[in-house]
Amino acid sequence: MTDQFELTEDQLAIQDAARKFTADRITPFAAEWDEKHIFPRDTIKEAADLGFAAIYVSEESGGIGLGRLEAALIMEAMAYGCPSTSAFISIHNMAAWMIDTFGSDDLKGRYLPDLVTMDKIASYCLTEPGSGSDAAALKTKAVLDGDHYVVNGSKQFISGAGANDVYVTMVRTGEDGAKGISCLVVDKDTPGVSFGANEKKLGWHSQPTAQVIFDNARIPVANRVGAEGDGFRFAMMGLDGGRLNIGACSLGGAQRCLDEAVAYTNDRKQFGKRISEFQNTQFMLADMATDLEAARALLYLAAAKVSANAPDKTKFAAMAKRLATDSGSKIVNDALQLFGGYGYLQDYPIERFWRDLRVHSILEGTNQVMRMIVAREMLRQ
């Protein structure tokens, strides 16, 4: 009866490989990356050696061709060491997947070999200064001029901006609204492309975040992904997977903090006994573990639905993202409370996870927008 809820042998092997990579190459260094704002490009590239730069890029294109559940397992495992770094790798995967799934053979041939190996790293550019949740209102304009588009505008909060090599960018080529949006692949060294200063963020210190600015940048028509007007559809399909991955990053971070809290409360003594012996502590830990498993179960189900292209995949991806990120942040906050004053110190990892997970309820669609999506899908029935 329980077999249907168990991971397969292949999935367990993938999870184990990601956990070992995290334990060896991420966890021991994550605190320093955070404190010194180090972008660990070499470590990120090492993940590509395991196929983690092209998780759902097809095998024909050089990827490992896995599903969304396997991707979630990888992101969750890496986030146990550093949610910021895991999320960064997720974004690269979304960009590579978009090129592989919707790009021409020429486009795939020019970009995917370097993206699969992470000899080049990709950013995804949708959000703008004036269009966050209302993504279909984006203003970055691409005007056709011969065999090029002339692009003007800017993108906001772009992970990897200025450091990455390739920018999968949503632009307006037509009418207002979703139907006028197209997708272009832009090289970092394109004349007219520049970058703003690195944002000073609460968390996610292991990756740079900045504006991408287009000033009469000429992008070849051959770099368009799919047909004109298809960009918004691609973006929304990408976000289904992105929401699963960011939810998985919250699961990984929450699991780490729960494990740290169990160990700490078993060691820390007050009033003559370990604080884990107090009923209040036990109740908190029990609720943290229950909420984590509930969020994990929903996220894994949603991932299976996205892989299967189920009719309700978008609703379940939104549900899972909302629950996993809200629950993850609460679990980490409760872990910090159990640590007391020590949880507030950078000597312990809890405060870093508290900062890193806070943004998860904002990006890939705010959790308020997730509720809107779920309600909309329910009311359509």
Report the alpha-carbon distance of residue 377 to residue 381 in Å, rounded: 7
CA 198 to chain centre: 19
Annotation marks residue 46 as catalytic: no
Map residue 264 onto helix, strand or coil: helix
Which residues are CB-neighbours of 18 under 8 A, at least 6 positions away?
A: 50, 52, 73, 74, 77, 78
365 conformational bin, left if phi > 0, alpha if psi -120 to 50, beta if neither = left
Q: Which of 76, 351, 364, 377 is catalytic?
A: 364
Report the alpha-carbon distance of residue 280 to residue 125 in Å, rounded: 46
DSSP annotation of 128: B
**DSSP codes joined into one string, 272-319:** TEEGGGSHHHHHHHHHHHHHHHHHHHHHHHHHHHHHTT-TTHHHHHHH
Instruction: Map tokens 């395991």 to a residue.
Output: 50
Q: Which residues are catalytic?
A: 364
